[in-house]
Structure 1
């Protein structure tokens, strides 16, 4: 597997954990507008996203917790490349509800919440 995206969490918005209870995680690169920063995990890109989008079966990892990407929205990777923004829905669906969304396998959301800390690495590997 090769890493196609690497980033480091810089801060976690005050409303992130509430959304995570529903299986939704929003990532946004540093500099997000304040209203989006409140619901987002802000991050600093360490390794620019590859030109090619991840494929179903790619690994999405935060710290030592990993999920398998199951569905890739038509516009999701363009948003990651352009502004470092994506919605990850841990519902295991093959077809995302929204074109800017990545679907991933279900994970232990409480364990994921504990990992959402500044300095933690986020990677996607094909």
Structure 2
């Protein structure tokens, strides 16, 4: 009886879970003392997790020298900080290098998410 129940649960999950399984993440590669990283953390950091983009692609901070924190595959080495790498299931989709301003960051991020993923901003 338990095997039948388990089989039915797996069957149902096979239809439901494929749409849930896509996991996007925004990896911010930074360096101690990076002026632009500090600006991003002050300008964007507190509100990013609450934003539509932040809900869609939660952020993870990694120091450029900490290869132990990298759980994924990058297309090319990271040279500049900050570098924002959009990851899907641990593989780089695309990246944005640098930080100029709040407006520029949000504009480029939303455009990138809409181009590379199923994300659609509602505002």
Q: Which has the higher contact order (CA 8 A, sep 6+)?
A: 1
Q: Which has the higher strand share?
A: 1
- TM-score for both structures, normalised by structure 2: 0.30
- TM-score for both structures, normalised by structure 1: 0.30
Q: Which has the higher helix share?
A: 2
